[in-house]
Structure 1
Amino acid sequence: MVKLFQREKNFEAYIANSVEETQIANMLHNTNWRLGEEKSWHLDQANGQLLLTFDDGSFALAPAQIVGTYHHQDSSFLWAWDHPSVIPALQRNATTVKQFGKEQGARELTKNKLKCTEHRAWELTALTMRLNQAKGAYRVQIKPGVSMFLTFGEVQIAHEAKS
């Protein structure tokens, strides 16, 4: 097997650095195009595009990957690479994390479902963003008590055409 990643001496420090990078990236997205202020979102799994719409008629479009889902009732996180509702094309970033986990000996990255806090789910999403060189991370509520974590790529901003 070809090793894709170098061995990390301090796994938790690596995750903490990933979280910091994600926070900075998302703050810049908020400043530049108001990430977190959208009125609605839509993820089209068929084409892998995340669409965020804003009250002023502008919208942001970016390629996206699903990291996993967090179930608040039982505090569990299910990785996208084993999620029955996630198409294989949107599992790639999560699968990269699984490979990293195998190489690091990190069971929480290779176990399909784990008990954790929502904060840990964010940390795992940040790690996913870093390992895949994504541009940002995003969380949405997909139904009561269930959040979906995503990473996204280069963002395109546009405005609705006025007639």
Structure 2
Amino acid sequence: MSEQTFERLLETATAALMSKQEELHRLYALGDMARWSLDQETATTQFFDASDRMAVEAQILNIGSFSPRHSTWKWAWGNPSVPQALREKALPLKELQTITGFDLFASEEAIALEDESMAWELTALAVQHLGALGCYRAPSTPDGPTVFLAITGLKHASH
């Protein structure tokens, strides 16, 4: 794939992700929830309201993580700190290397990025490739890695 074609793909994926994120916020307000919890065994993320009641549950696929301290990205499929089952679910993301011809999509090592905006671009491409509903940028400590999760299913909790 040429640089120009890749740039168009990136622009399209980024615009699509922004639209998906706006729709997710409108319907589920995930960013407004009081807290969240990731269950890696079931590949779900639960979001809790101000009354600490589960309000939304999402099926997720771990895309990767961005380390602000080192300005690096690590794909979930190649990250030994991600449980094996979740790493296997993320393996389709390696297909982006074949599609684009760019080795960064198949790198098992951490990839240097300029800043978090590039992590968002990688996430946009991943969300588009997976046909996901959007993503959740899982908050962390200031020095900790920021985990990006593709949302593959979503439902309001019934009380």
Distance 1:141 1:58 in 2: 18
Structure 2 contact 60–153 (Cα < 8 Å) conserved: no
Does residue 73 (structure 1) correspond to residue 61 (structure 2)? The answer is: no
Distance 1:17 1:93, change over 3 A: farther
Unaligned runs of 5+ residues in structure 2 are none
1:88 lines up with 2:89 in the alignment: no
Matched, 1:54 2:49: yes
**In structure 1, the residue corresponding to 2:140 is in which secondary structure?**
strand
Cα distance, 1:58 vs. partner?
5.0
Structure 2 CA distance for partners of 1:51 and 1:61, relative to 1, 3 Å:
same
Distance in 2, Cα, partners of 1:99 & 1:91: 14
- Count of matched residue pairs: 154
Rounded Cα–Cα distance in structure 2 between residues aligned with 1:92 and 1:12 = 28
In structure 2, the residue matched to 1:157 is: 156
Pairwise CA RMSD: 1.9
Instruction: Give the 3 Å change call, closer, same or farther, for CA 107–28 of structure 1 in structure 2.
Output: same
- Scaled by the length of structure 2, the TM-score of the pair is 0.87
Using the TM superposition, give the Cα deviation of residue 91 of structure 1 relative to its aligned residue in structure 2, in angstroms.
2.8
What residue is the counterpart of 2:136 in the other structure? 138
Q: CA deviation at 1:42?
A: 0.9
TM-score by length of 1: 0.85
How many percent identity over aligned positions?
25
Aligned to 1:18: 13
Letter in 1 for 2:30: L
Rounded to whole Å, the distance in 2 between the matches of 1:59 and 1:46 is 20
CA–CA separation in structure 2 for the residues paired with 1:94 and 1:77: 15
Contact 2:55 2:156 in 1 (8 A): yes
> Are 1:69 and 1:80, in contact at CA under 8 Å, matched by a contact in 2?
yes
Residue matched to 1:102 = 98
TM-aligned CA deviation for residue 35 of structure 1: 2.2
Q: Which moved more, 1:86-95 or 1:72-81?
A: 86-95
- State the AA in 1 paired with 2:135: A
Q: Secondary structure at the match of 1:143?
A: coil
CA shift at 1:92, angstroms? 4.6
Mapped pair 1:114 → 2:104: no
Q: Which residue of 2 aligns with 1:148?
A: 147
Gaps of 5+ in 1: 1-6
Q: Which moved more, 1:39-48 or 1:98-107?
A: 98-107
Q: Secondary structure at the match of 1:36?
A: helix
1:5-28 deviation per Cα after TM superposition (whole angstroms, max 9, x unaligned): xx6770121122111111111101
Indicate conservation of the 8 Å contact 1:64/1:90, yes or no: no
Q: Deviations over 1:81-114 (max 9, x none)?
A: 1101112332356422212213421122111211
Bigger mean CA offset, 16-25 vs 50-59: 50-59
